[in-house]
Amino acid sequence: MRLKSCIVFILTLSLLLCACVSSTSESTDFTTQPTIAEPTISTIPTTVVTPPPETTAMPTIEATNPIHSPLYLPQYTTAQITEYFNEVVLDMEYSDGTGDVTLVQKWTCPIYYYILGTPTEEDNAVLSKLFEQLNQLPGFPGIYTAADASSANLTIHFLDYSAFEESFSEVINSEYAFGATQFWYYTATNELYTARIGYRTDIDQQTRNSILLEEIINTLGISDTTTRTDSIVYQYSDENTSLSDIDWIILKLLYDPAILCGMDADACPNAIAELYY
């Protein structure tokens, strides 16, 4: 009986030891450290949003008509311009014809000029510059070089004193005349169609420069003035060597299509007021 109990005890102890070993083994299996996943960092592309540039609203500008015409100069009233226009355009001098010279006369056909005689280089330069300026005038028919004298409707003569006096004896009235102009026009329409100019070569260049310009302007339908000392066509001086601002105003008025050949002092003021002011 004791032996049996001892065996039972031994068996029991053995079973307990096995259980302990088994328990220990199983415990060891479960003591392995769990794998901790590294956190995943997602890379999100950075989008840089550029704000639209700030715009400053431009103020609204309403279209307005100019107060005056491009010809207008505040120092000259319409009445003054009209008075001067009447003096130099409607009182032509030295014309050769039977028509009424108190009417508007101007060129409506192109002018072809030919130079005769012995001009200086400066003479040619002065004339070329003036012709270039005239060709820029709105309404002006143009002035160009002719192939020869026979095909020109404007001949320009550079002459010594005796030849000048003889050739232009009909229109010069003094030995102090340094230049002279003759022109012809159609009496029915007052359109200029041919002209000639004489220049003396026995005078100094500065005086020549003034006379060169004056006679060309006279040939275009503008006579001398006794009132405007600054004008290139001032009758009592040969010192001005360029056209004044009022000279250009008169030229632009004269050759504007609104000013017609044959207009008189009653018809011109309304057109001048419209064009100038």
**For the segment 218-256, what is each residue's pLDDT rounded down to a tens digit?**
999 999 999 999 999 999 999 999 999 999 999 999 999
Per residue in 174-186, pLDDT (tens digit) is: 888 999 999 999 9
The distance from CA 154 to its chain's CA centroid, rounded to whole angstroms, is 30
Residue 145 located in a structural domain? yes
Residue with tokens 């101007």: 106
Residue 230 located in a structural domain? yes
Residue 180 located in a structural domain? yes
Per residue in 48-88, pLDDT (tens digit) is: 555 555 555 555 555 555 688 999 999 999 999 999 999 99
Which residue range is the domain that position 223 belongs to? 78-276
Residue 41 located in a structural domain? no
Residue 12 located in a structural domain? no
Residue 67: its pLDDT value, please? 85
Per residue in 143-165, pLDDT (tens digit) is: 999 999 999 999 999 999 999 99
Does residue 41 have a pLDDT over 60? no
Read off the CATH number of the domain in which 153 is found: 3.40.390.10
Cite the beta strand spans of the chain per DSSP E: 106-107, 111-117, 143-145, 154-159, 179-185, 191-200
Query: By the 8 A CB rule, do 118 and 76 touch?
Result: no
Residue 147 located in a structural domain? yes
Q: Terminus-to-terminus CA distance in the chain, angstroms?
A: 153
Q: What is the DSSP letter of 91?
A: S
Angle, helices 245-254/268-276, rounded to nearest 10 degrees: 120
Residue 55: its pLDDT value, please? 55
Structural tokens at position 96? 């050769």
In this prediction, residues 3-19 reach a mean pLDDT of: 44
Residue 231: its pLDDT value, please? 97
Neighbour-count burial of 106, counting CB atoms closer than 10 A to its CB (0-12 exposed, 13-18 middle, 19+ buried)? buried
Number of domains in the chain: 1
> How many whole angstroms separate alpha carbon 190 and alpha carbon 173?
25
Share of the chain above pLDDT 90, in %: 69
| Closest to 195 measured CA to CA, from 61, 97, 119 | 97
| Closest to 215 measured CA to CA, from 126, 132, 149, 110 | 126
pTM, entire model:
0.74
Residue 168 located in a structural domain? yes
Residue 1 located in a structural domain? no
* Selected residue with higher pLDDT from 47 and 111: 111
3-state SS assignment for residue 159: strand
Residue 53: its pLDDT value, please? 59
How many C-beta atoms surround the C-beta of residue 222 within 10 A?
Answer: 24
Q: How far is CA 57 from CA 54, 60, 63, 229, 264, in A?
A: 9, 9, 18, 53, 54
